[in-house]
Amino acid sequence: MRKQIVAGNWKMNNDLKQTQTLISELKNQVQTSMAEVMIAPTFTNLVGACDALQNSEIEVIAQNMHFAENGAYTGEVSATMLKSIGVNTVILGHSERRAYFNENDELLAKKVDAALAKNMRIIFCFGEELQDRNSGHHEAVVERQIKKALFHLSGEAWGSIVLAYEPVWAIGTGETASPDQAQDMHAFIRKTLAEEHGQDLANNVSILYGGSVKPANANEIFSKADVDGGLIGGAALNAEHFFDIVNAF
């Protein structure tokens, strides 16, 4: 069964005190929601966030991980380490990781396999750049990204994959894909998945939209048939805005 999900990606924001403050504000806002709610604080604040949100409806997730289990990878964190503190979901393939840390499809396939080997759920991000959309290549780019990183997976593994379509030109720019542009791309992604793995599997994969989602536009975007929720950056740093988006379902 595909789920509705709203996940907040805090990126490299919020020190310890700011994290504690935002989490207590989120706890005040939380109500029973139709959507699963997740937040992704920085690595340094994951343990504290897990403690503070124990027995809460909000899941704490990670923004990234390395593909190796341990070893000489200075500055990196593994799936085993995340699992050991109670983090069971990881964001992989965010466009900022692709752009600033040279993460490519091949590396992401290795990270996907490593996360799945440890029974982690993955929010897998991908999306085209502005020049791809302007030249009409947006579908081809997205198809390549998901095929190269994910299409080697078995049907069973897809139960642990959440897709997040995030057009790069809409991330942090204030420019959002129109609800119709989001729907068209999500329908294309589902069709591509169905061609490879069958309609049943495709119908059961949640596809989130990310890119300048705000309380003012969330409802219209989430009302589209193939949009199952959102990955939220900037607006996730404000508890009230974040829950206005969650409640847009």
User: Is there binding between residue 181 and ligand PEP (CB under 6 A)?
Assistant: no
What values do phi and psi take at 121, rounded to 5? -90, 145
Is the separation of the CB atoms in 8 and 42 below 8 Å?
no
Quote the CA–CA distance of 153 and 164 in Å, as a whole number. 17
| 76 belongs to the catalytic site | no
Of the residues 66, 128, 166, 186, which is catalytic? 166
Is the separation of the CB atoms in 225 and 213 below 8 Å?
no
Mask for 132-151, x = binds ligand PEP (CB under 6 A): --------------------
Is the separation of the CB atoms in 166 and 126 below 8 Å?
yes
Q: Which tokens sit at 247? A: 């409640």
CB of residue 235 to ligand PEP, shortest distance in Å: 6
User: Is there binding between residue 63 and ligand PEP (CB under 6 A)?
Assistant: no
CB of residue 11 to ligand PEP, shortest distance in Å: 6
Q: In what order do the strands lie in the sheet with 58-60?
A: 58-60, 36-40, 5-9, 229-232, 207-210, 161-165, 121-126, 89-92
User: Is there binding between residue 166 and ligand PEP (CB under 6 A)?
Assistant: yes
Mask for 200-229, x = binds ligand PEP (CB under 6 A): ----------xxxx----------------
Among residues 142, 171, 182, 227, the one that binds ligand PEP under rule CB under 6 A? 171
Given the complex with ligand PEP, which of 210 and 229 has the nearer CB atom? 210
Number of residues in contact with ligand PEP, rule: CB under 6 A? 13
How many residues make up the chain in this entry?
A: 249
CB of residue 210 to ligand PEP, shortest distance in Å: 3
Of the residues 36, 59, 94, 186, which is catalytic? 94
Given the complex with ligand PEP, which of 4 and 212 has the nearer CB atom? 212
User: Is there binding between residue 232 and ligand PEP (CB under 6 A)?
Assistant: yes
Is the separation of the CB atoms in 190 and 203 below 8 Å?
yes
Quote the CA–CA distance of 200 and 191 in Å, as a whole number. 11
| 94 belongs to the catalytic site | yes
Can you list the alpha helix ranges (DSSP code H) found in 94-165? 95-100, 105-117, 130-134, 138-150
In the complex, which residues of this chain contact ligand PEP (CB under 6 A)? Answer: 9, 166, 171-172, 210-213, 231-235
Residues with catalytic roles? 94, 166
